[in-house]
Structures are given as structure tokens and as C-alpha cells.
Amino acid sequence: MSNIVLIGMMGCGKSTIGQLLAETLHLDFVDTDTLIEEEQGLTIPEIFAQYGEDYFRNYEVAVANKLSQREGLVIACGGGLPLRDDAIAPLKETGKILFLNRDCNEIYDSVSMAGRPLGQGGRRAFLERFAQREPIYRNCAHYEIAGVSTVEDAMKEILEVLA
Ligand code: S3P
């Protein structure tokens, strides 16, 4: 069973939807941020503050390589993981990549940016970051899931594309 890999902007619902999807399909759930935090014994903001973004991105590459050797997982990726081709490519080889494309104004209005070092620059910076990333997300995804305003809609669309 190939993995199901969720990508998209921070706060789009990868972890919430991923957990539910894993339960529904009887698969194991892994969140790359949580894995990194557990392995490092530090929170994401602490890792960024102490070691910097490059260190974190290299760690994401290592985690992606490790997870791509496993099967039957639902994997919620940190929002910036697909920026590195050497992180997303191994996951794409052994999994179906789903881009959860939730409206970014809606994300910004409803999701806390606390604990998200790259979400600290205000709405405009958040929207600009998304504009830079959207083609990257789209380019590496097998499927784009557009109806992600509610978890129920997202689940329905995901289960349809996977069927
Ligand atoms: C990041 C997203 C975060 C986390 C880190 C960087 C990003 O994950 O990996 O703060 O660059 O978009 P979430 O997408 O789970 O918030």
C-alpha cells in the first residue's frame, strides 16, 4: 500500500485531515513536524531559533527519505517540505501526493500562527509566501484538493480521488 502524503500551506489542515484519513483507512499517521520535534527534543520555533531554517530543511530531507522507505502511512508534511526537491521526490516515489489548497485568507483568519516561525510576518507576507509556493505545491502533487473549507468536504474529495 503506497503512502498518502499531504502537502500545502501551514494551517491548511494537513494534520487534522491526515489523522482522520489515517483512522478512516486504517493506516498509521505521521506528522513530519512532530517527528522532528520528538527526535530533536525541541519545538519547531526552538529549532529555527537555535539552528536556523537550513538545518530544519536538511532535517526534513532526512525524515522524508526515512518515511519513503515505509508503507501504509498517511504523512502530513511541514508546509515548506516540498520546497526542497530532495525532500519531496522520495515521498513522491512511494506515495500519492495530495495538495490541500485551502484559501489563504481563510487560513490566516482562523488558524493561530503561534509556533509557526514563518507565519509571523503578517497577512501580506503570508499571502506572498503562498503565491511563491503554490506552483511548487501544484507541480509536485498528484492531486489538488480544492474543497478544504471544512474537514468533511476535504475528506469527501480526498476519498473520491483515492478511490
Ligand atoms: C513551515 C511549516 C510548518 C513547520 C515550519 C515551517 C513552512 O509546518 O514545518 O514552521 O515553511 O511552511 P505546518 O505546515 O504544519 O505549519
Check if 79 has its Cβ closer than 6 Å to any atom of ligand 1: yes
Strand ranges of the sheet holding 73-76, from the earlier edge strand across to the other edge: 28-31, 73-76, 3-7, 95-100, 143-145
Nearest CA to ligand 1 atom 8: 78
Nearest CA to ligand 1 atom 11: 80
Q: pLDDT at position 19, please?
A: 98
Check pLDDT > 90 for residue 120.
yes
Output the CA 81–ligand 1 centroid distance in Å. Answer: 8
Check if 102 has its Cβ closer than 6 Å to any atom of ligand 1: no
pTM above 0.95, yes or no: yes
Output the CA 93–ligand 1 centroid distance in Å. Answer: 22
Nearest CA to ligand 1 atom 3: 78
Q: Which long-range contacts (CB under 8 A, 24 or more apart) does 116-119 make?
A: 116/10, 116/11, 116/44, 116/45, 117/44, 117/45, 117/48, 117/49, 117/53, 118/10, 118/53, 118/79, 118/80, 119/10, 119/11
Q: How confident is the model at residue 23 (pLDDT cuts 50, 70, 90)?
A: very high
What value does the mean pLDDT of the chain take? 96
Q: pLDDT at position 148, please?
A: 80
Check pLDDT > 80 for residue 72.
yes
* Structure-block grid coordinates of residue 52: 536556523
Output the CA 2–ligand 1 centroid distance in Å. Answer: 24
- If you average pLDDT over residues 4-8, what whole number do you get? 98
Mutate to test the pocket of ligand 1, among 7, 10, 51 (most ligand atoms within 8 A of CB): 10
Q: Give dist(CA 14, CA 5) in Å, integer.
A: 9
Check if 33 has its Cβ closer than 6 Å to any atom of ligand 1: yes
Instruction: Tell which residue, 11, 13, 61, has the closest CA to residue 35.
Output: 61
